[in-house]
Amino acid sequence: GEDVEQSLFLSVREGDSSVINCTYTDSSSTYLYWYKQEPGAGLQLLTYIFSNMDMKQDQRLTVLLNKKDKHLSLRIADTQTGDSAIYFCAEISLPGNTPLVFGKGTRLSVIA
Amino acid sequence: EPEVTQTPSHQVTQMGQEVILRCVPISNHLYFYWYRQILGQKVEFLVSFYNNEISEKSEIFDDQFSVERPDGSNFTLKIRSTKLEDSAMYFCASSGKGGRYEQYFGPGTRLTVT
């Protein structure tokens, strides 16, 4: 079945860039997502990329997709303490009523 | 900005009891989902719902679980006889026809079975 893998922890200094990585196995993935979960809160959709793109930028966030290697990354520029959270990578094969498949999440700690 | 809401935020119940978790999806959305996250584990899909019927369900979603859209706004998940291993955070999500690739999640209901 589909699987999504992420490293569990990342620690960066405030002001530095963070890069969170994700690999997936499903070659039919059409959309790939990044969700953010702050302590005690739900999942916030941060950004997503369609599989025919290789990059998407949205303010401080840059998503890179290497479809050949099935590798997705999220770069957060000028990381702030408010970016401390768990970041989940997720994928979907067909939009609509097909479920998201999530990774375990990467806990980002930002050191002031 | 429209958002998915869920009630209650925390539910404590005894093993064997029935619980109903409630969700109000974003008003013009057509697809509805339940996911759960056991502490320290991945977010797992339970069930999706479209056009007043279940469209897909996972192995977790056995006969103890059911979903309903009793009116035009609510979407509920019922667990008939809770087990200890049902303790988890339950998330409701919804997506719209126009933006069906964007699933928006509620804040979750933490279910504790004792």
Q: State mean pLDDT over B105-114.
A: 96
Q: Measure Cα distances from A101 to A64, A91, B22, B49 in Å.
A: 19, 5, 23, 17
pLDDT, averaged across chain B: 93
The whole-number pLDDT of residue A1 equals 63
Q: Strand ranges (DSSP E) for B4-105?
A: 5-7, 10-13, 19-24, 31-37, 43-50, 53-57, 65-68, 75-79, 88-95, 104-105
The whole-number pLDDT of residue B72 equals 79
Contacts of B39 in chain A (CB under 8 A): none
Contacts of A107 in chain B (CB under 8 A): none
Cβ-based contacts under 8 A for chains A and B: 58
Query: A41 to chain B, minimum CA–CA distance in Å?
Result: 5
Interfacial residues of A (vs B; Cβ cutoff 8 Å): 30-31, 35, 41-45, 48, 88, 90, 92, 95-105
Q: Is residue B53's pLDDT more than 70? A: yes
Interchain CB distance below 8 Å, A100 and B100:
no
Radius of gyration of chain A, Cα coordinates, nearest whole angstrom: 13
pLDDT, averaged across chain A: 91
Interchain CB distance below 8 Å, A97 and B31:
yes
The whole-number pLDDT of residue B40 equals 84
The 10s digit of each residue's pLDDT in A9-34 is 999 999 999 999 999 988 777 889 99
The whole-number pLDDT of residue B20 equals 98
Interchain contact B100–A (C-beta under 8 A): yes
**Share of residues in chain B with pLDDT > 70 (%):** 96
The whole-number pLDDT of residue A26 equals 81
Interchain CB distance below 8 Å, B108 and A42:
yes
The whole-number pLDDT of residue B96 equals 85
pLDDT band, residue A51 (cuts 50/70/90): confident
Q: Is residue A95's pLDDT more than 70? A: no
Interchain CB distance below 8 Å, A97 and B48:
yes
